[in-house]
Chain A
Amino acid sequence: MEPIIQLRNLEKSVEAGPNRFFLLRRVNLDIQPAEFVTIMGPSGAGKSTLLSIIGMLDGAWTGEYYFNTEPVHRLNVKKRNELHKANIGFVFQSYHLIDNLTVFENLEVPLSYKNVPHKERVSRVCDALDRFNIVGKKDLFPNQLSGGQQQLVGVARAVIMNPKLILADEPTGNLHSAQGDEIMQLFKRLNDAGTTIIQVTHSERNASYGHRIIQLKDGWVVGETATADVGANAAQPG
């Protein structure tokens, strides 16, 4: 099976006066479909930068990036955006829900950007509300929800387009442990259902939900370890 993501000699740098600082250096990485990968490393290692590039939000890098064999490095902005819209969902540490919109409308936003017809949008949002057990919250605004509930909406928003890949940047960073576990269980279930997940985390416990850990330091991939089957661990946190 072809990897869903292939990175070859991927590099990202920024200029600061006469100097050039590398944020990522010669990153080579293959991620298989339905894999659950964790990226770890100290602050400034380049984790979020790598996630932004994989998520096609950042286009200023060099090297090769294949998404489902599609050469992202050769695509123009428009094509890249289309690929991103069709395949990738994001979950953020700070949830990043839109404050002005209700839960229902927040879930509707990515669908509207993909020009999904109104009726279908409503139907898919209702399904998501039902699936994530947040029907009762649909008319509330983000500031009327707890952190866990907001992240639940964040995950629901990420999966509403049925993405092949979910990118999660410290998804439980702002949650207490019980809420965090709930979210991680949710990721696990999504992964079991076939969605590829890449998460960035500092938490060993969250990492244990995945199949593999990529270690980054100063922009370099410095290690890669497989994690044991964590289904049992996840069921018994502590």
Chain B
Amino acid sequence: MNTFWQDIRYAMRGLGRNPGFTLVTVVTLAFGIGANSAIFSVVNTVLLKPLPYRDPAGLVKVWTRFTGIGLPNDQNWFSAPEFRDLSEQNRSFSAISVLSPSTFNLGLGGGNPQSVTGAAVSPALFTILGINPPVGRTFLPEEAQQGRDRVVILGYGLWQRAFGADPQIVSKEVIIDGRSCQVIGVMPKGFDYPSPSELWMPQVFVPADFAPDNRGNHGYEVLARLKPGVSLAEARQDMAALSRAIIEQHREYPYQRFGFALLLHPLLAETVSDVKTSLWVLMGAVGFVLLLVCANVAGLLLVRSTARQKEIAIRVALGAGTRRIIRQLLCESVILSLFGGLLGLLLTPILLQLIVSLSATALPRVVSTQIDLGALLFTFVVAVGTGILFGLAPALEASRGVHHEVLKEGGRSSSEGRTSQRLRRLFVVAEAALAVLLLAGSGLLLRSFVKLLAVDPGFRAEGVLTMQVSLPSATYAKPEQQRAFFQELVSRVEHLPSVQAAGAISALPLGGPGNSGTATVDSRAVPPDKASPETDYRAVMPGYFQAMGISLVSGRYFDERDTDSAPPVGIIDETMASTFWPNEDPVGKRIKLGGMGSKQPWMTIVGVVRHVHYRTLEARSRVQLYWPEAQRPTGLMSLAIRTSAADPMSLAPAVERLVLGIDPQQPVDHVLTMEEVMADSLARRRLTLTLLGIFAGGAMLLAALGIYGVTAYMVTQRQQEIGLRMALGASRSAVLGLVIRQGMSLLAAGLAAGLVLSFALMWVLSSLLFAVRPYDPVSLGAAAAALALVALVACSIPAWRATRVDPLVALRYE
């Protein structure tokens, strides 16, 4: 054991006496290991750690599915009647809760009101999650009844921020959405389910919510806890049976045609399902970067072990066995790697900060990422593993040399052995291959991103300011109050200097799911059973389409004629027009909300507008229907203001003043330019692209350094030969060619291996790509070309130096 400590001591001393080598190696390793620790910390927090709730394996999200009408995903919300069916008829859940994420206006005495993100939930939610409030209590079942629902639970952060962590907060009255509510509890620190909630109100259902007409009004998420002993598979069977029962029980609703089904997803899997591939791809990429770092450092160690041939030979002459020599050298490489790991741990928080800042809105749970024991253990294991990985080949090579030759006077000089040279070249080829792989991957993501940015979303985002205004139902209970507020606000905004157009919509494009439901079209072109499509619908104010730059295809936009007393009118998108009124102008035709039997009034179509990507840039949305807000007022609207100001955001304070001028208790929220809204919708892609881009850039640099190192060493070793060639008449360009050919031959091998590797692995990226195939020749070609260019520069430096060799000096040199 004490000889082991001796090895460590000597290794430390040896590294200390080569500060340049040690520094370069440790810093290189630190980047590799630090990046791995950072990505692992994120993967661990987001994907691997159990949810911070009681028995998280028993938590499931329940969704509805409507495949029959081509909805793109398996995660559609519930309507109130469907939630009641599920609650009453399931056999699998011990408790079930509805979740209705919302924005609440919190009134705070003298100060400006605050807009707070929260959710209306069933009282059972906290039992389901096993969350106990550190202060106060959770909802009682009877508090989900109308009249007893003026109770609120605060999030820990909100309690701290808005109430100064008042320990006497329980039973105090606060104003929520204009109503006085009693605070009954404060949630523990970190609890924000459904994320990012800071305030919880009881969800109250009134009889009207369960009206048959409301069956298509899907507005609730559902969380449930499986009964003890019920497996996920059994619960899914139960859901299948229940789906069939609901279809049978409600023949008046076209469930059969909609392909209705109830689906279950484990909560953790669902929370992370969208980001899983991105994160594993990043973990893989950063792992490849570490391999590349290993190859690079192994190359450096091989050169160093050449310089240490004498020392190793002496040790062998003094009785050191092969194992002991390998142990000594591995000890050095592991120490180097551990130092790299330590420095990497210092870099990890910086990388984490970058990742969190890039992905706070894109990755669930990412904000709670920290370097915990798991990450420390991971870093330690990676550091030791890395040290062994990059140290093994050089150690084996060093230990098996013909040592006694080195000790002979005038014996073999310290030149690199053939195996060592071959190994170094192999490492460089591997580096180039890995760099091509990473460059090709980031190239594919970049091409996807560029293609996405080129997608016509159906509106013009530049020059548009948006903000959300959520009118509290207590003070704006009547539709005419809501209508009056928004009409007054938009009219005042229109008069602000630099405003070109202003309007409002119930849910902005790319800002969230918005409302959807069944609408029925009055069209002879489609059979009755196909005339009730699932539709994205929105209330808009005149001026919205102009402000957003949504072109009119036919008919007209909404205007001052479309008042509450005028006949109901609607505007549809071009997709709905071409689907339901092919070869005819739908203007003048009719459409209504709900199924065929719905009592909702028919709306006359007055205009057709371009299709807008409301949900994602990647895919077209459902068919779209708009109605004038004046005819169906709503309390939650987002302003869209087109301005000629260079920075739309500069208009925000003036608009906020107008809001407070109308109602001093009314906050605004989500103040963003439309370009920011679009950018947020691409945050996850941007994160993957940015990180993969950084890794690929680093990989390219390391590969170039590797090629530079081998070429430069070759020039040193062949200095005499080069001098001789020049003495015999070789031109400078011939020498330049000689050296560059050597470097580029390694690159060519690396490129070939990298392209093969890319073909083998690029399918992994398929789900992250948009309008680009995984084997996109442009991306692969660009990756190869970029690396070739950098490698050419890397080879040119030693090649140029070779042309400066003085033949006389070189020939005299020994």
Contact = CB atoms under 8 A, between A and B. Distances in A.
B409 A109 contact: no
Interface in A58-94: 58, 78, 81, 84-85, 90, 92-94
Interface stretch (A97-105, A125-133, A186-194): A97-105
B407 interface: yes
B315 A109 contact: yes
Contacts of B772: none
B19 to A, nearest CB: 13
A117 B1 CA distance: 10
Contact of B407 (A92, A98, A105): A92
A59 to B, nearest CB: 10
B342 to A, nearest CB: 22
A105 B318 CA distance: 13
Nearest to B403: A57
Contacts of A48: 408-409, 411
Contacts of B314: 96-98
Contacts of A58: 404
Given A94-B409, A100-B17, A170-B409, A52 B404 contact: yes
Interface string A158-184: 000100000001100100000000000
Given A55-B317, A113-B324, A157-B318, A96 B13 contact: no
A114 B409 contact: no
B15 to A, nearest CB: 10
B191 to A, nearest CB: 56
A133 B786 CA distance: 64
A42 B411 CA distance: 15
Contacts of A109: 315, 318
Given A99-B311, A157-B318, A93 B409 contact: yes
A120 to B, nearest CB: 11
A210 interface: no
B319 A100 contact: no
Given A96-B310, A100-B13, A115 B317 contact: no
Contacts of A90: 317-318
Nearest to B323: A78
A55 B142 CA distance: 95
B321 A81 contact: yes
A179 B324 CA distance: 35
Interface stretch (B2-10, B96-104, B543-551): B2-10
A113 B319 contact: yes
A112 B328 CA distance: 12
Given A92-B407, A99-B311, A100-B10, A78 B3 contact: no
A219 interface: no
Given A105-B10, A173-B409, A85 B310 contact: no
B259 interface: no
Contacts of A110: 318-319
Contacts of A169: 407-409
Nearest to A57: B404
B311 A81 contact: no
Contacts of B411: 48
Contacts of B403: 57
Contacts of B360: none
A2 B603 CA distance: 120
B170 interface: no
Contacts of A101: 10, 13
User: Which of A58, A94, A112, A161 has most chain B Cβ within 10 Å?
Assistant: A112
Contacts of A96: 310, 313-314, 317, 407
A85 B313 CA distance: 14
B23 to A, nearest CB: 17
B3 A115 contact: yes
B318 A113 contact: yes
A57 B316 contact: yes
B14 interface: yes
Interface in A109-150: 109-110, 112-115, 117-118
B320 interface: yes
B3 A112 contact: yes
A90 B403 CA distance: 14
Nearest to B5: A118
Nearest to B311: A98
Contact of B319 (A81, A92, A118, A170): A81
Interface in B296-329: 310-311, 313-321, 324
B402 to A, nearest CB: 8
B409 A84 contact: no
B317 A100 contact: no
Nearest to A89: B318
A24 to B, nearest CB: 14
A232 to B, nearest CB: 31
Nearest to A118: B2
A85 B13 CA distance: 25
Nearest to B14: A100
A140 to B, nearest CB: 14
Nearest to A102: B13
Contacts of A85: 319
Nearest to A161: B319
Nearest to B314: A96
Interface string B393-423: 0000000000110011111000000000000
A136 B317 CA distance: 26
B407 A112 contact: no
B485 to A, nearest CB: 81
B605 to A, nearest CB: 87
A55 B409 CA distance: 16
A95 to B, nearest CB: 9
A147 to B, nearest CB: 14
Contacts of B324: 113
User: Which of B10, B316, B317, B324 has most chain A Cβ within 10 Å?
Assistant: B317
A170 B407 CA distance: 12
B523 to A, nearest CB: 89
Contacts of B318: 90, 109-110, 113, 157
Contacts of A43: 410
Contacts of A118: 2
A27 B6 CA distance: 41
B317 A57 contact: yes
Nearest to A47: B408
A96 B316 CA distance: 12
Nearest to B317: A90
A57 B401 CA distance: 11
Contacts of B408: 48, 52, 169
Contact of A112 (B6, B316, B404, B410): B6
A113 to B, nearest CB: 4
Interface string B1-35: 01100100010011001000000000000000000
Nearest to A78: B321
Contacts of B409: 48, 93-94, 169-170, 173
A105 B12 CA distance: 14
A110 B2 CA distance: 14
A85 B320 CA distance: 8
A84 B319 contact: yes
User: Which of B3, B316, B319, B409 has most chain A Cβ within 10 Å?
Assistant: B319
Contacts of A115: 3
A122 to B, nearest CB: 11
Contacts of A98: 311, 314-315
A161 B317 CA distance: 13
Contacts of A92: 317, 407
18 contacts: A43-B410, A48-B408, A52-B404, A52-B408, A57-B316, A78-B321, A84-B319, A90-B317, A90-B318, A92-B317, A96-B314, A96-B317, A97-B314, A100-B10, A112-B6, A113-B315, A161-B319, A170-B409
Given A57-B317, A113-B319, A113-B324, 9 more contacts: A43-B410, A48-B411, A52-B404, A90-B317, A93-B409, A98-B315, A109-B315, A109-B318, A157-B318
Interface of B: 2-3, 6, 10, 13-14, 17, 310-311, 313-321, 324, 403-404, 407-411
A-B CB proximity, top 7 nearest: A85-B319, A57-B404, A113-B319, A52-B404, A110-B318, A118-B2, A96-B314
